[in-house]
Copies of this chain bind each other. A is one copy, B any other.
């Protein structure tokens, strides 16, 4: 399966859990399409590719969809995640209650000065010297990096060497696989918030410049 379909399936699933919580039992492809921003035909094509039973007129049984999607996407057990770097962004993520409903569980934080991290919740915060042992002992596969940009690459190497296979990086630096031996096993997603905001400004400014050239057609 390619990345696009996985992302759509993940979105369907999240939406289905919310609909189920609202008491829905069936759902139609056009509702799902509207909600996640694709055509109903694509929703039906995705479900038919995956042999999920249902059709345009009768709709789909939500419980059955959820069961099949959970199997496909591997949601049988809670997904344990660690956070390295417990500054503002790191602790905000650890405490973000939206995750628990998605089966994602933050099990520990790591910081160079764990004693200075304001106790955020019931999630323990340990020193960096225990990071590798923790990852190995608890078979942690996915971790979040929220350290300063100057530390990010070193932390990535430590994590991957201990067994981490997937990293979500919030440090404002593009992390990639430098070392073939060590990093070829690791998938890295970079979330650069400053870059996102700068990009928005550029798009907004470019759009406004275009509108001024076209004359005042709004309002």
Contacts and interface: CB of A to CB of B under 8 A. Distances in A.
Contacts of A79: 197-198, 201
A142 interface: yes
Contacts of A195: 7, 10-11, 14
B91 A142 contact: no
Nearest to A120: B88
A102 interface: yes
B92 A88 contact: yes
A68 to B, nearest CB: 14
Interface stretch (A41-49, A53-61, A107-115, A184-192): A184-192
A25 interface: no
A144 B201 CA distance: 12
Contacts of A91: 88, 92
Interface string A85-101: 00011011101101100
A207 interface: yes
A23 interface: no
Interface of A: 1, 3, 6-7, 10-11, 14, 35-37, 73-74, 79, 81, 88-89, 91-93, 95-96, 98-99, 102, 104, 141-142, 144, 149, 165-168, 172, 174, 176, 185, 187, 189, 191, 193-208, 218
Q: Which 4 pairs show the lowest CB-CB distances between chains A and B? A: A92-B92, A166-B200, A88-B92, A166-B204
